[in-house]
Amino acid sequence: MKATWKMLVVRTSRRLWFRSALYGSFGVASALLGAVAKPLIPPGIAAQIGVSAVGNILGILASSMLAVTTFSLSTMVAAYAAASNNATPRASTLLIEDSGSQRALASFIGAFLFSIVGLIALSTGVYGDSGRLILFVATIVMIVIIVVTLLRWIDQISRLGRVSETIDRVERATREAMQTLAHAPRLHAMPYTTPPADAVRLGSRHIGYITNIDMARLQEIAKATDIQVWAEVSAGSFITPDQSVARLSRKVDEETALKLADAFAVEDLRNFDQDPRFGLVALTEIAQRALSPAVNDPGTAIDIIGTVTRLLCGWAKARQECAPEELRYPRIHVRALDERDCFEDVYAPLARDSASMLEVAIRLHKSLATLGQLDYPAYRKPAVEHADRALQFSAGALALPADQQRLVELAAWHSHMP
């Protein structure tokens, strides 16, 4: 249950309304601070601050923040649409959850509420001379915060929604998921083995993608009922009621089965948290869109291949350098990420779509050669298979024999390996 609540808190904190409400509450509290703390200020110090001086500043701040908030919202919506149209809709979630954009918008909303509440409190006379001084100081601090936020927002808004920025965001999210999974490829559970022939099927009540597996909850239930659990799915798997999410060492009552099934979170869309393959799929979709006749942007596809190469090299390095995985859930058996699936997600579609573009095909073969020659045996076989597959696609798509021969030479790296 702890992991479930943690996931819920993390998801909620990424929502735009949450940060806006938090900053708005801070703005309201700051505006009311003067009414609460006015006994702490000597009356003689504050007598020079008039109601009109503070009220004029708050009025300007309120009207300008309302305009800036409206403009920022429209810009962010336009950036989301641009990212969906020019890159991939799967990447728009990263833009929506971007902490920098949310901070800027929340700061503007907080400043607007601060100004409105301050004006209302001033008109009712709850501040007094001492309270107005505190409100005046708080207003100056708020103006400094807004100026700094605006300067950072101007820099960020110039890049928001561009294809290169979207690629960078997807790469960062994918790398983070890969690094996390590399240190616990089986989520701290036992290695997956073939379940006994009499193992009981555990189905799902929902249709959608597995986005999270609550390992602590599974272990708790399995220990309480004295069973072993073999997880048949992982984050990113599409599940239907006729499929098994897990196998159990023996039959359990219906209530326990429902609790076990609920440990596998099912949602309509995949996310990047426990699913690095989703990041690779998103990057591949950006490359595929760039290779389409309507866009015809091979440079972006080449950039994506370089990004994927960097990510997969990072995964191999992390797997080689990380310490042995700590076993926390001895009653749960989980499959580790199969690197062949990562190659299938990226190189199978790109080999097909780039077959007629020599410059992209060259980069693809160089990427496979780099990965296949790493000191990481899990990459060797899939790299060879996809290099051969790419050659077959290009053989029927390239018109010049010289171009075909160049790719054959690039793909000959594996023939010299032991």
pLDDT at residue number 348: 94
- Report the pLDDT averaged over residues 144-161: 83
**Residue 363 confidence (pLDDT):** 95
Q: Exposed (0-12), middle (13-18) or buried (19+): which is 132, by Cβ within 10 Å? A: buried
Lowest mean pLDDT among 46-50, 114-118, 196-200, 206-210: 46-50
Per-residue pLDDT, averaged over 327-344, amounts to: 93
Residues 388/411, Cβ–Cβ less than 8 Å: yes
Band (pLDDT 50/70/90 cuts) for residue 2 is very low
Residue 365 contacts residue 407 (beta carbons within 8 Å): yes
Residue 21 confidence (pLDDT): 75
Which CATH fold would you assign to the domain 186-267?
A: Aldehyde Oxidoreductase; domain 3 (3.90.1170)
Q: Does 178 have pLDDT greater than 50?
A: yes
**Cα–Cα distance measured from residue 35 to residue 131, given in angstroms and rounded to the nearest whole number:** 5
What integer best gives the mean pLDDT of the chain?
Answer: 84
Q: Are 387 and 411 in contact (CB under 8 A)?
A: yes
Instruction: List all residues 6 or more positions away from 150 whose beta carbon is below 8 Å from its beta carbon.
Output: 68, 104
The predicted pLDDT at position 128 comes to 63
Q: With 90 as the cut, is the pLDDT of residue 39 above it?
A: no
pLDDT value for 165: 86
Taking the CB of residue 251, how many other CB atoms lie within 10 A of it?
A: 12
Read off the DSSP letter of residue 417. Answer: -
Whether the predicted pLDDT of 77 surpasses 90: no
More confident position, 146 or 124: 146
Rounded Cα distance between 223 and 402, Å, is: 64
DSSP 3-state assignment of 388? helix
Which of these, 298, 301, 297, 299, lies nearest to 309 by C-alpha position?
301
Least reliable range by pLDDT among 58-72, 209-223, 295-309: 58-72
- pLDDT higher than threshold 80 for residue 361: yes
- Using CA atoms, how far residue 281 sits from 6, 274, 277, 349, in Å, is 26, 14, 6, 10
The predicted model gives 156-185 an average pLDDT of 88
Choose the weakest-confidence range: 38-42, 164-168, 270-274. Answer: 38-42
Task: Indicate yes or no: pTM above 0.85.
Answer: no
pLDDT in tens, 218-256: 999 999 999 999 999 998 899 988 888 999 999 999 899
pLDDT (mean) for 20-35 = 68
Instruction: Write down the pLDDT at residue 290.
Output: 92
Side chain identity, residue 416: H
- Is pLDDT of 324 > 60? yes
The residue type at 51: V
Q: What is the Cα–Cα distance from 215 to 331, expressed in whole angstroms?
A: 10
Residues 55 and 122: beta-carbon distance below 8 Å = yes
pLDDT the model gives residue 1 = 42
Q: At what angle do helices 401-410 and 358-372 cross, to 10 degrees?
A: 20
Q: Which residue has the higher pLDDT, 96 or 315?
A: 315
329: pLDDT strictly greater than 90:
yes
At residue 130, the pLDDT reads 65
